[in-house]
Amino acid sequence: MNNEVQKIKTQITKYNILTGHLVGGSLQNPMHAGVAIHYEGDSYYLVRLNLFPRTWFYLSKNQESQNSYTVFTKKLEDCGSGVRLQNPVGKATLHQYHIEISIPLLSKNLFLEIFPASNSLE
């Protein structure tokens, strides 16, 4: 069974997270703020922000919506039912070229590029 898990999670995709000002749908003065990593088969992104280098965040799509997400800080792995995410700290919305992440504690919006970074991991 452990080999099956390894086979499922072989494709890893890295996305950049930027900060800046959104003007007319395009990001002005972008600055690198972190990365998001998605393992093939997972329903969430692992998010690492430069501001909090030792903290992992989890970005998960809301079940009842096509374009809204929630940011969590805690992941529990259940034996039978998979992964449960807890401690919501923010929200996110899908736009045409990015996912806009809002964490009230930061008082700044972050933008996850929906196109993978040029160096996908394998």
Tens-place pLDDT, residues 85-113: 999 999 999 988 899 999 998 888 999 99
How many structural domains are present in the chain?
Answer: 1
**In this structure, is residue 62 part of a structural domain?**
yes
* Residue 119: per-residue pLDDT: 54
**In this structure, is residue 103 part of a structural domain?**
yes
Residue 37 has pLDDT above 60, yes or no: yes
CA quadruple 24, 29, 32, 36: dihedral, nearest 10: 0
**In this structure, is residue 90 part of a structural domain?**
yes
**In this structure, is residue 44 part of a structural domain?**
yes
Q: What is the mean pLDDT of residues 15-44?
A: 91
Residue 21 has pLDDT above 90, yes or no: no
Residue 23 has pLDDT above 70, yes or no: yes
**In this structure, is residue 99 part of a structural domain?**
yes
User: What is the Cα–Cα distance from 99 to 77, expressed in whole angstroms?
Assistant: 26
**In this structure, is residue 4 part of a structural domain?**
no
Q: Which residue range is the domain that position 81 belongs to?
A: 13-113
**In this structure, is residue 96 part of a structural domain?**
yes
pLDDT band at 70 (very low <50, low <70, confident <90, very high): very high
**In this structure, is residue 1 part of a structural domain?**
no
